[in-house]
Structure 1
């Protein structure tokens, strides 16, 4: 789910989401673990001077956590250059990572954002962010600590996401696989809407992986060899634009890699590859019952008749790339 301004207002008026955990300390305890500036910003609702931190202009991969309780709050993929003088993000890493509060100080109406785990003051959220959310989380750099991470994310589709998700879960170097929708115009689409073929979205998976263990090129090669990339808008019995073969790239390096891999696979096929290569815009996570569908429904007819045969071939073809516990 992509949070929008209406969601922010609902949290303010109806209550914030429940955090995964709570961290409570006395003022003295916070003073013992924070610097004077960190304490002033996070526990006394201070504001750092604009353009005072180089964090505003850092966009390398990683995550950002609360400096007080170390709860992860934002992902670098949601960070953007707002030129406001403070680090800016379009979304929190999880819906329940952030809490929202009315702020009428200084004669203004604003929405304060705090860490939902420990109540640390972070900054404010505004309505002038980029689409599709339109949100700008304007955060004090002092409130955050940068966490280096090797993890990267890749998004592609090739038919029903129940199948693709089940396959990529098996790979060594893959941390997480989530089913969802991408490539269309509808914000926060439902499965029913996507299934109508009118949203422009394709069923896709978002693969979180570690490049030192499995490369982006390997992921794309496996993707193109585990579905039929030579037919338009169809995989098996599934028909429609939502089942199209597609690769979303996030930068020119990924775009070049996708073109290269398709050319290499094309040399092995008689039919022309029609896989679409498109610039990534947004991934919308599918409803919870779609997530990890195969492992939740191993006795289901679709799993036994469609996914099981694919998995058998997949494990044989890529046995050297599988996780040890598979």
Structure 2
């Protein structure tokens, strides 16, 4: 998660490397854009406040650069700032946006531009909502809405190496990231979380298509692939960082969580003690934790702990596996 200190460092010391660069002449951009789009994005213009209905749109989806189509923001990070311009708390990736010091109009501000094509987007300010505290104040003309049915779900069920390995195999799941959530410090490290003093749990964030797999089914799989009846413990892993937890994003999800836990309770001899809490923020874990099982399948922990768990999971939820995994499960 980017903070204001990160933005200042980018503006002063150099921006993150873009995934790609798109370079065109002004004449080429003029042929592709409307006059207003060209004025805003290529000539650093500013649209009138409250001039776009985009300010009041909060449906799921993504927002891309109107010039080059690079994805810049997710609707989940959009909020009502009352300024009259669409406002976001974070970009979709750290390198989607570039930052330039802007001293025009007698002010010192930080300009935001598309890191792919250098289109002027707007400015970023340190007066946004917690926990990041950023407000990306964008010109609506510089953005185009891209329909997306993606949803996110965040679970904790012991070591995130195990939970990530399970959910990566599911049909309808496009991405699984390991991280930390539910605690009381910003940007925790793995070592800090392992101390048990941060309040954070090891979790995964699942990006999924609800047309292919439902939130309720994700919950059922989560509750079936770890022990939700042991408090702050999974096997040999003990501590609040290994607690069973489900972070819901809205009241509808909270109701589904409660319903699924009630549905599954009779299958367990002991009470389910899974924590149910509102989602606030995911702090992405260090790079070496991502895709851990895929990159370390020969490691002792993976063979002793994750392999048996995956075998049981594939037997129980064969119909939910991606097609390539169904073939492997039959072998």
Q: Does 2:109 match 1:119?
A: no
- In the alignment, the residues of structure 1 paired with residue 30 and residue 12 of structure 2 have an alpha-carbon distance, to the nearest angstrom, of 32
Give the conservation status (yes or no) of the 8 Å contact 2:183–2:199: yes
State the SS of the aligned residue for 1:157.
strand
Q: Which residue of 2 aligns with 1:171?
A: 170
Give the conservation status (yes or no) of the 8 Å contact 2:180–2:284: yes
State the SS of the aligned residue for 1:83.
coil
Ranges in structure 1 where 5+ consecutive residues have no aligned partner: none
Q: CA deviation at 1:12?
A: 1.2
Q: TM-score, normalised by structure 2?
A: 0.97
Q: Which residue of 1 aligns with 2:215?
A: 216
State the SS of the aligned residue for 2:51.
coil
Q: Which residue of 2 aligns with 1:185?
A: 184
Q: Which residue of 2 aligns with 1:29?
A: 28
State the SS of the aligned residue for 1:73.
strand
- In the alignment, the residues of structure 2 paired with residue 152 and residue 269 of structure 1 have an alpha-carbon distance, to the nearest angstrom, of 29
Q: Which runs of 4+ in 1 moved over 4 A?
A: none
Ranges in structure 2 where 5+ consecutive residues have no aligned partner: 326-331
Q: CA deviation at 1:302?
A: 0.4
Q: Which residue of 2 aligns with 1:148?
A: 147
- In the alignment, the residues of structure 2 paired with residue 59 and residue 234 of structure 1 have an alpha-carbon distance, to the nearest angstrom, of 38
State the SS of the aligned residue for 2:28.
helix
1:8-44 superposed Cα distances (whole Å, 9 cap, x missing partner): 1111111011100000000000000000000000000
Q: Which residue of 2 aligns with 1:263?
A: 262
State the SS of the aligned residue for 2:122.
strand
- In the alignment, the residues of structure 2 paired with residue 239 and residue 302 of structure 1 have an alpha-carbon distance, to the nearest angstrom, of 16
Q: Which residue of 2 aligns with 1:56?
A: 55
Q: CA deviation at 1:188?
A: 1.1
Q: Which residue of 2 aligns with 1:12?
A: 11
- In the alignment, the residues of structure 2 paired with residue 192 and residue 77 of structure 1 have an alpha-carbon distance, to the nearest angstrom, of 30
**Aligned counterparts, 1:53-92, within 5 A:** 53-92=52-91
Q: Which residue of 2 aligns with 1:104?
A: 103
- In the alignment, the residues of structure 2 paired with residue 170 and residue 223 of structure 1 have an alpha-carbon distance, to the nearest angstrom, of 13
State the SS of the aligned residue for 1:164.
helix
Give the conservation status (yes or no) of the 8 Å contact 2:154–2:247: yes
Q: TM-score, normalised by structure 1?
A: 0.99
Give the conservation status (yes or no) of the 8 Å contact 2:12–2:101: no
State the SS of the aligned residue for 1:129.
coil
Q: CA deviation at 1:182?
A: 0.5
State the SS of the aligned residue for 1:267.
helix
Q: Does 2:295 match 1:296?
A: yes
Give the conservation status (yes or no) of the 8 Å contact 2:22–2:117: yes
RMSD: 0.6
- In the alignment, the residues of structure 2 paired with residue 218 and residue 147 of structure 1 have an alpha-carbon distance, to the nearest angstrom, of 27
The count of residues paired between Structure 1 and Structure 2 equals 325
Q: CA deviation at 1:168?
A: 0.5
Give the conservation status (yes or no) of the 8 Å contact 2:63–2:75: yes
Q: Which residue of 1 aligns with 2:329?
A: none
- In the alignment, the residues of structure 2 paired with residue 226 and residue 170 of structure 1 have an alpha-carbon distance, to the nearest angstrom, of 13
- In the alignment, the residues of structure 2 paired with residue 264 and residue 310 of structure 1 have an alpha-carbon distance, to the nearest angstrom, of 23
Q: Which residue of 1 aligns with 2:320?
A: 321
Q: CA deviation at 1:267?
A: 1.8
Q: CA deviation at 1:108?
A: 0.6
Q: CA deviation at 1:153?
A: 0.4
Give the conservation status (yes or no) of the 8 Å contact 2:156–2:242: yes
- In the alignment, the residues of structure 2 paired with residue 185 and residue 35 of structure 1 have an alpha-carbon distance, to the nearest angstrom, of 47
- In the alignment, the residues of structure 2 paired with residue 275 and residue 147 of structure 1 have an alpha-carbon distance, to the nearest angstrom, of 36
- In the alignment, the residues of structure 2 paired with residue 305 and residue 26 of structure 1 have an alpha-carbon distance, to the nearest angstrom, of 58
Give the conservation status (yes or no) of the 8 Å contact 2:152–2:208: yes
